[in-house]
Homo-oligomer: A and B are copies of this chain.
Amino acid sequence: MISTLTQLPPQALTPEFVTRFEPTSFMFWLEMFGIFACSVSGTILAKHKNFDAFGCILVAMIAAISGPTARDIILNRYPLFWMVNMNYLLIITITSVGFQMFCNPKARHVDGLLKLFDGLALAIFTLIGIQVAQEMGANIPVCILLGVLNILFGTVIRDMLCNEIPLVLQRELYITPAIIGGILYFVLQVMDIPSWITQSLTMLTIFSIRMLAVQHDWYFPDISLIKKASL
């Protein structure tokens, strides 16, 4: 299409629509659904803030790919997935435009929807972050940290761009379910449980704890042993 593209250097990032995971696999559909969930929550929030169409798409992209991008930069894992595989940007754009056209984010169900999609993204992205870090040879604490970062980074930047109080600042459990899920993942792996059960249980645990925390206003107990003493 463009003449200069024929003189590309050998490390050329040729566009591919081939996916990292087997297209028929569980993880493939899961990752795409995670990207979809992040795009929806990003678009909802950006529309609430009266961003224009391109602004909403940009916030959706930031919500969906900046966490995994930070993870890959930290792991020195190049080229970045969204540069070689156009599925990601495509799904985000279509999701964001479609949501802007056919949904009305001023409706009263929006806050619940936002929490729901954030919970889904939390479960999926934490699991994928852990697995990618493990593939790259990281040890267990780093894997769990990168699992948390994989979802947290995009969510925090999205919230700051939209001038919202970051989710992580709010009272309900958000990091805790991800860490519990991460520990469970490694416990199940040591017990030689089949990987699809490990993955499903990890996500289910993270999602359930997060949703229950939102529903019942669960928060982490204060671990301070001193109440009134001066420092």
Contact = CB atoms under 8 A, between A and B. Distances in A.
Given A8-B137, A51-B169, A103-B226, A2 B186 contact: yes
B231 A105 contact: yes
- Summarize A's interface: helix, strand, loop or mixed: loop
Nearest to A89: B141
Contacts of A168: 51, 55, 58, 161
Contact of A13 (B78, B142, B179): B142
Contacts of A113: 231
Contacts of A82: 142
Interface stretch (A24-32, A69-77, A121-129, A200-208): A69-77
A215 interface: no
Copies of the polypeptide in the assembly: 3
Interface residues of A, number: 86
A54 B176 contact: yes
A2 B189 contact: yes
A-B complex: 5 closest residue pairs judged by Cβ atoms:
A12-B137, A52-B220, A15-B139, A107-B231, A8-B137
24 contacts: A2-B140, A2-B186, A4-B134, A5-B134, A11-B137, A15-B139, A51-B168, A52-B176, A53-B220, A55-B168, A58-B148, A58-B168, A58-B175, A89-B142, A100-B224, A102-B225, A104-B228, A104-B231, A105-B231, A107-B231, A113-B231, A156-B161, A160-B160, A161-B166
